[in-house]
């Protein structure tokens, strides 16, 4: 079996296990790249990226939050990078940021 295919298959199997064992993980678009990195993205119209917090509880790791401000239009970003079941995992979510969220996750 091709090494890239094996890595991608490992990522796909890890994703299947995550979704079966944790149905609360919803609203994320997933991809498994050829090198076996499992990536999840959520572009939310509301909320504050809590799905990434849920993933961190399940997968391990610590989410990092930041706020991007472009001409007063604030967008929150939360990211998680971890390894789960031997598979590198990167998850991020963006959402409209309220004035109560600041850089570094301090609320």
**What per-residue confidence (pLDDT) applies to 66?**
94
Say whether 98 sits in a helix, a strand or coil: coil
| Domain count along the chain | 1
Q: Tell which wins on pLDDT, 30 or 105.
A: 30
Mean pLDDT on 81-103: 84
The boundaries of the domain holding residue 62 are 3-105
Taking CA atoms, 38 is separated from 21, 23, 47, 83, 103, in Å, by 17, 17, 23, 9, 26
pLDDT, tens only, 7-36: 899 999 999 999 999 999 999 999 999 999
Split at pLDDT 50, 70, 90, the class of 101 is very low
**What per-residue confidence (pLDDT) applies to 51?**
92
25 within 8 A of 55, measured Cβ to Cβ = yes
Model confidence at 107: pLDDT above 50: no
**What per-residue confidence (pLDDT) applies to 10?**
94
**For residues 62-91, b (16+ Cβ closer than 10 Å) or e, as one string?**
ebebebeeeeeeeebbbbbebebeebbbeb
pLDDT, tens only, 56-90: 999 999 999 999 988 888 999 999 999 999 999 99
């Amino acid at each position: 079996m091709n090494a890239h295919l094996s890595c991608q298959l490992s990522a796909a199997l890890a994703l299947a296990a995550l979704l079966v064992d944790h149905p609360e993980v919803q609203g994320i678009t997933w991809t498994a790249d050829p090198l076996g990195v499992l990536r999840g993205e959520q572009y939310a119209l509301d909320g504050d990226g809590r799905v990434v917090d849920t993933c961190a509880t399940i997968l391990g790791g610590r989410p990092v939050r930041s706020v991007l401000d472009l001409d007063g239009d604030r967008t929150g970003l939360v990211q998680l990078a971890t390894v789960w079941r031997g598979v590198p995992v990167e998850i991020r979510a963006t959402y409209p940021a309220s004035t109560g969220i600041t850089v570094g996750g301090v609320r």
